[in-house]
Amino acid sequence: MMDQGSRSELEARIGYEFKDVQLLRESLTHSSYANEQGESALRSNERLEFLGDAVTGLEVAVLIFEKGPGMSEGQMTAVRASLVQTEGLAAVARRIGLGEYLLLGVGAEKTGVRENETVLENAFEALVAAVFLDGGQEAARGIIQRFFTEAVTEKIQGFADDRYDADYKSRLQEVLQKNGAAEIIYKVRGESGPDHRKTFTVSVIMDDRELGSGTGKTKKSAEKMAAKNALEELKCI
């Protein structure tokens, strides 16, 4: 059984206090531990994982729906898929430090299962289900909002940036094609800064002539600025 200190620590991390501690324990019980213990009443987190998968998907979808009123069905689906895939859920589990609390069998412990992405994904889903059963849908929604709001906002902004990029780049292409211009290319002229905070400089070129250049934190944003600046030089905006 989890000691009181570990339980309180985990509850503080997720922002929820369990009424039924057995549900919390079950959510953290890997099948290897349940099998090794051989206790008929001890269940692994697999059933909770099944429920938690559905609850997580629903609540992430609600969050996307609320935060992205201008998004299409396809865009919302893409955002949800990127967040609830194994890598995304395992990343949230790591933020919580969920691997520290898993109950594992001796063999599984030796093979490094505690840091396995699928195991972490399953444990997070099981934890969401445990919260759902213990405190209801609002409690589960609170967990999802706590750990996904920032990521959902960033993903939605990413789609907005992509549309913004496409507007300038498409508009420049249309302007030039109307004047019989050949195809344009975007060329990276330089990169600066550390790997996690790079700044890119990109030029938009037609027939070896630079029409405009721009900088940005990503190549896409730099291309957007290059196209925007080219349109300004051409007096099209």
What one-character-per-residue DSSP string does the chain give? ---HHHHHHHHHHHT---S-HHHHHHHTB-HHHHHHH--TT---SHHHHHHHHHHHHHHHHHHHHHH-TT--HHHHHHHHHHHHSHHHHHHHHHHHTGGGG-B--HHHHHTTGGG-HHHHHHHHHHHHHHHHHHH-HHHHHHHHHHHHHHHHHHHHHHHHHHHHHHHHHHHHHHHHHHTT----EEEEEEEES-GGG-EEEEEEEETTEEEEEEEESSHHHHHHHHHHHHHHHTT--
Q: Residue 57 — pLDDT band, cuts 50, 70, 90?
A: very high
- Asked, for residue 165, whether it belongs to a domain, the answer is no
- Asked if residue 164 has pLDDT above 60, the reply is no
Q: Using the 3D structure, point to which of 123, 158, 193 is the last residue of a domain.
A: 158
CA dist., res. 124 & res. 165, Å (int): 35
Greatest mean pLDDT among 28-42, 48-62, 103-117, 212-226 = 48-62
**Residue 124 CA to its chain's centroid (Å):** 14
Residue 84: closest CA among 112, 105, 63, 107: 63
Mark whether 108 and 212 lie in a shared domain: no
Mark whether 51 and 85 lie in a shared domain: yes
User: Do residues 212 and 232 lie in contact, with contact meaning Cβ atoms separated by under 8 Å?
Assistant: yes
Mark whether 148 and 195 lie in a shared domain: no
- Looking at per-residue pLDDT, the higher value among 157 and 149 belongs to 149
Amino acid identity at 25? R
Query: For residue 34, what are the domain limits?
Result: 4-158
Annotated catalytic residues are 53, 125
Residue 24: closest CA among 107, 94, 98: 98
Sheet of 185-192, strands arranged across = 185-192, 199-206, 209-216
- Asked, for residue 21, whether it belongs to a domain, the answer is yes
Mark whether 112 and 195 lie in a shared domain: no
- Asked, for residue 174, whether it belongs to a domain, the answer is no
Mark whether 9 and 111 lie in a shared domain: yes
> Which whole number is the average pLDDT over 75-97?
92
At 40-49, the pLDDT tens digits run: 557 899 999 9
Mark whether 201 and 94 lie in a shared domain: no
pLDDT of residue 40: 55
Number of domains in the chain: 2
Q: Residue 60 — pLDDT band, cuts 50, 70, 90?
A: very high
Partner residues linked to 186 by β-bridges: 204
pLDDT of residue 177: 79
Q: Using the 3D structure, point to which of 158, 173, 191 is the last residue of a domain.
A: 158
